[in-house]
Amino acid sequence: MNSVKVGVIGAGRIGKIHAANLLRLPRVKMIGIADLYANEALQDWADERGIPHVTKDNMEIIHNPEIDAIFICSITDTHGPLIMEAARAGKHIFCEKPVSMDIAQTQKAVDTARECGVKLQIGFNRRFDHNFKRIQAGVQAGEIGTPHIVKITSRDPNPPDEGYIKGSGGIFMDMAIHDFDMARFVCGSDVEEVFAIGTVLVNPVFAQYEDVDTAIITLKFANGAIGVIDNSRQAVYGYDQRVEVFGSKGSLAANNDFPNTVEISTADKIYRDKPLNFFLERYNEAYIEETQLFIESIQRNTDVKVNGNDGLQAELIAKAAQLSCRLGKPVKLKDVIALSQVTL
């Protein structure tokens, strides 16, 4: 089996994480990295790791004939166009979520990848988390019978800064989108209808951008199950990422991950340390595994674990949640689709 040659577009935090994880894999070669702001520091970073090409021009990476696969880690606005460009250049594509803020564009990007016969994996890394994989496997194996209720708790330890909030696309598209994908993943079903309530309790700055920082989203699934997600931009005790699926024969429930299992008993109380701090710590192994499995799907020519439709569906739910929260009533995904088509 030949090595897979990879180029990365976007050398921010997540781009560098993927690059570092790729460098550890056998039969993978990092060929180049592109970033609009590529500078000497990035050149040094690449040199230390033996990555030959550093460029400011994404096209140099996409059209490099040596490269088999592209990791798109640049800002969201660029995802759709880059997917299409890379797909037409015959490259396999790993793209960070969301594909775009615009359903029609996402649809077009996903279609293009399919038409060009290249693999497209979306960066829903949480599917590769040891806890959530276990839940999904249990549901799929019938360990709890038919799913009835899906419950997801997803709270960040700290809100992002104002600059980030401004361009984030809002809590549903930026943060809850992971939970929407998780809901589909563990339930094994698409979502048909969404009701969302949201409020600003953490920081008034969210209100300035017509965003909320605290939300509860109710879901109706195509398979008849119902679900609920609660989100907060600030859990002071740390990253809170729990999933529960309740079914006809029982339930599967994942608690958080902790840095250690030590319980400390004192005259005052019984305590333990806070959970793993944030996504880099909590999903460290999941990032490694999503990269590895993407490469394997190329090497073995198998389906990717998170495909373009998964990206599209999560975005549809996010759009429905946005609408629902503003309108104060439930929104069906088919209506979001209809609305999106109008704008095409």
Enumerate residues 297-336 that contact a copy of itself by CB under 8 A.
328-330
**Distance between CA 274 and CA 258 in Å, rounded?**
7
- Is 204 a binding residue for a copy of itself by CB under 8 A? The answer is no
Q: Which is nearer to a copy of itself, 269 or 300 (CB)?
A: 269
Residues of span 22-41 touching a copy of itself by CB under 8 A: 24, 26
In whole angstroms, what is the distance from residue 54 CA to residue 223 CA? 48
Q: Which of 134, 192, 299, 309 binds a copy of itself (CB under 8 A)?
A: 134
Q: Which is nearer to a copy of itself, 63 or 332 (CB)?
A: 332
Residue 138 or 160: which CB sits closer to a copy of itself? 138
> Quick check: 45 binds a copy of itself (CB under 8 A)?
no
Residues 6+ apart with CB under 8 A from 193: 219, 220, 320, 330, 331, 332, 333
Is the distance from CB of 234 to CB of 201 less than 8 angstroms?
Answer: no
Near a copy of itself in 150-179, by CB under 8 A: 151, 153, 155
Among 146, 208, 277, 341, binds a copy of itself (CB under 8 A): 146
Closest CB to a copy of itself among residues 135, 173: 135
**Tokens at residue 277, please?**
């701090």
Q: Does 128 bind a copy of itself (CB under 8 A)?
A: no
Question: Quick one: which of 64, 50, 72, 178 has its CA closest to 121?
Answer: 72
Give, to the nearest 10 degrees, the angle between helix 103-116 and helix 76-88. Answer: 20
Instruction: Give the pair of three-digit tokens for residue 253.
Output: 């429930």
How many other β-carbons are positioned within 10 Å of the β-carbon of residue 144? 18
* The one segment of 112-120, 195-203, 301-309, 313-321 that binds a copy of itself by CB under 8 A: 195-203
Q: What is the smallest separation between the CB atom of 187 and a copy of itself, expressed in angstroms? A: 13
Going by the DSSP 8-state scheme, the letter that residue 12 receives in this structure is: S
| Contact of 307 with 120, CB cutoff 8 Å | yes
The CA–CA distances, whole Å, from 62 to 72, 96, 114, 144, 311 equal 10, 16, 17, 45, 21
Task: Write down the least CB distance from residue 196 to a copy of itself, Å.
Answer: 9
Contact between 260 and a copy of itself per CB under 8 A = yes
Handedness of CA 162, 166, 168, 172 (dihedral sign): positive
Cβ pair 55, 61 in contact under 8 A: yes
# residues near a copy of itself by CB under 8 A: 71
CB of 227 closer than 8 Å to CB of 218: yes
Examine residue 269 and tell whether it contacts a copy of itself (CB under 8 A): yes
Q: How far is it, in rounded angstroms, from Cα 33 to Cα 50?
A: 11
- Interface pattern 231-250 for a copy of itself (x via CB under 8 A): -x-xxxxx-x-----x-xxx
Binding of a copy of itself by 267 (CB under 8 A)? yes
- Residue 197 within binding range of a copy of itself, rule CB under 8 A: yes
Which of 111, 192, 257, 296 binds a copy of itself (CB under 8 A)? It is 257
User: Per rule CB under 8 A, is residue 256 in the interface with a copy of itself?
Assistant: yes
